[in-house]
Amino acid sequence: MPRYFFHISDSSSLDDAGTELPDIAAARAEAVQMSGQIIKQGSMGNLWKDIPWEMKVTDGPLPHGRTLFVLRFTALQSEPPS
């Protein structure tokens, strides 16, 4: 079974162990679920400062793993009306 590595950009959280999943579709679902949990917990750092938060999924530990896909989230807050 392939191993996928989930890396978080703004917290310098590098996944050195990886997670075995049956295929890339399962890795995509896992990345979305993990990202949702992190955002729900409010631990995504500068998201509300218009600084993208990313989860990069690779086929090996960085820096040698090949990037398979990236989830990127950005939040823009409108200025309150005067």
Tens digits of residue pLDDT in 23-81: 999 999 999 999 989 888 876 666 777 778 889 999 999 888 999 999 998 887 777 66
Q: Is 56 exposed, middle or buried (0-12, 13-18, 19+ CB in 10 A)?
A: buried
Residue 25 DSSP SS3 = helix
Query: Which residues in the chain belong to E strands, given as ranges?
Result: 3-8, 19-20, 53-58, 67-73
pTM, full prediction: 0.82
CA–CA dist 7, 15 (Å, integer) = 5
Mean pLDDT of 9-28: 89
Amino acid found at 8: I
**13 pairs with which residues across the strands?**
8
